[in-house]
A and B are shown apart, each in its own frame.
Chain A
Amino acid sequence: ALPADWSAEKDFKPIGSITAFTQRTIEPVGPHFLAHARRARHKRTFSEDDRI
């Protein structure tokens, strides 16, 4: 439910950002990793990759 007094620009209100994260190593194995490596090396985003 939306409180009556709620309002924000374009109906979106950013409040925080991600608080906790760690650097870890993913295993360079499997089809999904190879897709990830391809994106990382060509600096593509998900949607750009989808279009190709």
Chain B
Amino acid sequence: MAEKSATPGVAPGDRCAIGISFGNSYSSIACTIDDSPVVIANEDGDRQIPTVLSYVDGEEYTGNQAKALLVRNPKNTAVAFKDFLGQDFKSIDPTHCHAAAHPEDKNGTISFTIQDQVEGEPSTLSVSEISTRYLRRLVQSASDYIGKKVTSAVVTVPTNFGEKQRDALIKAAQAADLEILQLVNEPIASVLAYDARPEAKLEDKIVVVADLGGTRSDVAVIASRGGLYTLLATAHDYEFAGAQLDKVLMDHFAKEFMKKNANVDPRENAKSLAKLKAESEATKKALSIGTNANFSVESLAEGIDFQLTINRLRYETIARKVFEGFNRLVEGVIKKAGLDVLDIDEVILSGGTSHTPRIASNLRSIFPGTTAILAPSTSPTALNPSELQARGAALQASLIQEYESDDIDQSTHPAVTTVNHISNAIGVLTVSEDGEEIFTPIIAPETAVPARRTVHVEAKDGGNVLVKVVEGGTHIKVTKPEPKVKENGTKEDDDEDSDFDSEEEEEEHREKIWKIGSTLAEAAIKDVKKGGKVEVAITVGNDLSVIITTREVGGKGGVRGSLKAP
């Protein structure tokens, strides 16, 4: 993602760079201390800072303070504006601004009319200006924490953020005196946050990142090959997100309220609705941590207080439709990438809604046991889903802050980032005791070239060994134990009673197997010791030419040969 730097950047020596995750609902800031990322709390003590800007009596408020003002000062409060950057008025969905300042079309730019002065006429503020003011406050919080003026940042953006939106974001940041070093795709920042941990091992794997947010959910399938990341497929959804879960709770509490107070619907009064929404979100968060949560609002409607307890099970029942939407979203994007759930090695849950335990356990049931589901409730080593993007951005910022901005631009240029990826795996064939040919992958499919990998293959009998290098593809083999009626291959685990049944009922067995493709080369290694090992190293060049080197482990010499580019 090459972005043009309109103004000369800050000199590398004078930089103080942070990572920013700038969301519609919440934003976060992070820096690195001794190479490990730290998410910074603002002056209110919040690490997830609501993306809200509000004015009362000429005073500017952001974060949770501004969010609280949605009840008594909605007209001068701007929310959910980040997705409006660089957009045409016609293409935006103002739903989430309904209870706050409304976006308007002012000479082609999306604007809000807000009373930001003590006296006088309300100001017309473009979405860019709103973003600038909000970013300025974020950067101020980071500067206060670090004790040094923050000059630069890496900011995360959704994968479907267009060129115009990226430019608008860079301009808004520049107006806030912030140099944007690079814009990084959100799912990639999440993967980086995990891969940069000291205990992480560098592996070739397929990762699904499910970023479940407040106003939108984004899912991406990523091939991680030797620490290089390639997006294979993405999906974006605005129907299944945190706001829909809030809505489920709002309706539930409103109905309960009406049972006790007939003819008073708190959803029909703007102020009551704002209170209902704020408390519903708080209850939702509490249900991610505890199995019981309290909902209580003073003077919810017509001066009547309301209090109710809800347990997690009840919440999971009423929110089931939304939860199932997340499952379909994840399954859909895997299909879009041309893959199967068996191909997925890791699922990273990111975004605030990912704290919901039920969503992680639903995903657990879709994927095979070998797939790691990285969420707090399914993995003890999982990171906080809300912090992933800011951490990834902070890591990237620390990696590139010493570079000249020209260097960054040149390195992110498509000439560098657009490369060949091999579609099939490359590996060696070995013959097992029962005479079956077994494929051992050396380079995984969808690996970017140039690439270099080495494996050790056992040569049990020793003697003269033939190393056969072949291409391989995967396919899914389905074996049914006994013909039994089943709708299809995928397991729906959400029927009320299927939790029990799925354990007892014999399910069809699906496994991933290698299909051997065309042979690339053969090489002979002579006089290998009994039980010895043969090392095979394969390097694929930029032009897809292949160099194969093979020798006995511990032996001398070896065989080396090359294949022409296709």
Interface residues of A (CB under 8 A from B): 1-3, 6, 8, 10-34, 36-37, 39-41, 45-46
Contacts and interface: CB of A to CB of B under 8 A. Distances in A.
B38 interface: no
B46 interface: no
Secondary structure type dominating chain B contacts: strand
B471 A2 contact: no
B401 to A, nearest CB: 12
B422 A20 contact: yes
Interface string B398-427: 011000000000111010111111111010
B1 A28 contact: yes
Given A26-B230, A29-B229, 9 more contacts: A12-B560, A17-B566, A18-B471, A18-B566, A20-B423, A21-B421, A21-B423, A24-B419, A34-B400
A33 B189 CA distance: 13
A29 to B, nearest CB: 5
Contacts of A34: 399-400, 411
Q: Which of A10, A23, A25 has the most CB of B within 10 A?
A: A25
B182 A28 contact: yes
A21 B461 CA distance: 36
A39 B524 CA distance: 32
A35 B540 CA distance: 17
Contacts of A1: 431, 461, 463-466
A28 B411 contact: yes
Interface size grouping (class) on chain B: 35 or more
A41 to B, nearest CB: 7
A16 B421 CA distance: 18
Contact of A17 (B184, B520, B525, B526): B520
B416 A17 contact: no
Contacts of A32: 202, 226-228
Contacts of B452: 46
A29 B184 contact: yes
A11 to B, nearest CB: 4
Contacts of B400: 34
B410 A8 contact: no
A25 B414 contact: yes
Interface in B95-154: none
Given A24-B419, A26-B419, A12 B563 contact: no
Nearest to A38: B411
B322 interface: no
A18 B559 contact: no
Interface string B236-276: 00000000000000000000000000000000000000000
A6 B229 contact: no
B411 A8 contact: no
A12 B561 contact: yes
Given A17-B544, A17-B545, A33-B228, A23 B423 contact: no
Contact of B520 (A15, A29, A33, A41): A15
Interface in B510-548: 517-526, 539-540, 544-546, 548
Interface in B201-254: 202, 222, 226-231
B521 A25 contact: no
A24 B463 CA distance: 43
A31 to B, nearest CB: 6
Contacts of B522: 6, 8, 12-13, 15
Given A24-B230, A25-B230, A30 B411 contact: no
Given A27-B188, A27-B230, A46-B452, A11 B524 contact: yes
Contacts of A15: 518-522
Nearest to B519: A15
24 contacts: A1-B431, A2-B466, A6-B524, A8-B524, A12-B523, A12-B524, A14-B561, A14-B562, A16-B520, A16-B521, A18-B426, A18-B520, A18-B566, A23-B419, A23-B420, A25-B230, A25-B231, A26-B228, A27-B229, A28-B1, A28-B411, A29-B192, A31-B399, A41-B410
B29 interface: no
Contact of A21 (B392, B422, B464): B422
Contacts of B324: none
A42 to B, nearest CB: 12
Nearest to A2: B464
A8 to B, nearest CB: 7
Given A2-B463, A22-B420, A24-B418, A29 B189 contact: yes
Contacts of A28: 1, 182, 411-412, 416-417
A37 B411 contact: yes
A35 B464 CA distance: 39
B544 A21 contact: yes
B6 interface: no
B20 interface: no
B463 A30 contact: no
A29 B452 CA distance: 20
